[in-house]
Amino acid sequence: MTDTAPAPSRRRENTRTRLLDAAAQMFAEEGIDASSVEAICERAGFTRGAFYSNFGSKEELFLALCQRSAETTLTTLRERIASLEADGLEPGTEVRNLVQQVLEIAAQDRLDVLLNAEIRTQALRNADFAVAYLALDRGLSENVSQLVRDVAEARGLRLRVSPEAATEMLLSMWVSATEYALIGGRDPRAAQPELAARLSHLMTLILE
**What confidence tens digit (pLDDT) does each residue in 6-58 have?**
566 888 899 999 999 999 999 989 999 999 999 999 999 999 999 999 999 99
Backbone angles phi, psi at 184, to 5 degrees: -80, 5
Residue type, 63: L
**What confidence tens digit (pLDDT) does each residue in 71-113 have?**
787 777 777 767 766 666 555 555 656 666 666 656 677 888 8
Residue 63 has pLDDT above 70, yes or no: yes
Mean pLDDT over 149-158 rounds to: 75
pTM over 0.75: no
- Chain centroid, CA 91 distance in Å: 29
State in Å, rounded, how far the first CA of the chain is from the last one: 52
If we measure between CA atoms, which residue out of 37, 183, 66 comes closest to residue 130? 66
Measured CA to CA, the distance from residue 61 to residue 20 in angstroms comes to 7
Report all structural domains of the chain as residue ranges with CATH numbers, in order of start: 1-56 (1.10.10.60), 62-206 (1.10.357)
Measured CA to CA, the distance from residue 103 to residue 61 in angstroms comes to 28
Give the count of beta carbons closer than 10 Å to the beta carbon of residue 61.
24
What is the model's pLDDT at position 99?
65
Q: Please tell me which residue, 153 or 40, carries the higher pLDDT value.
A: 40
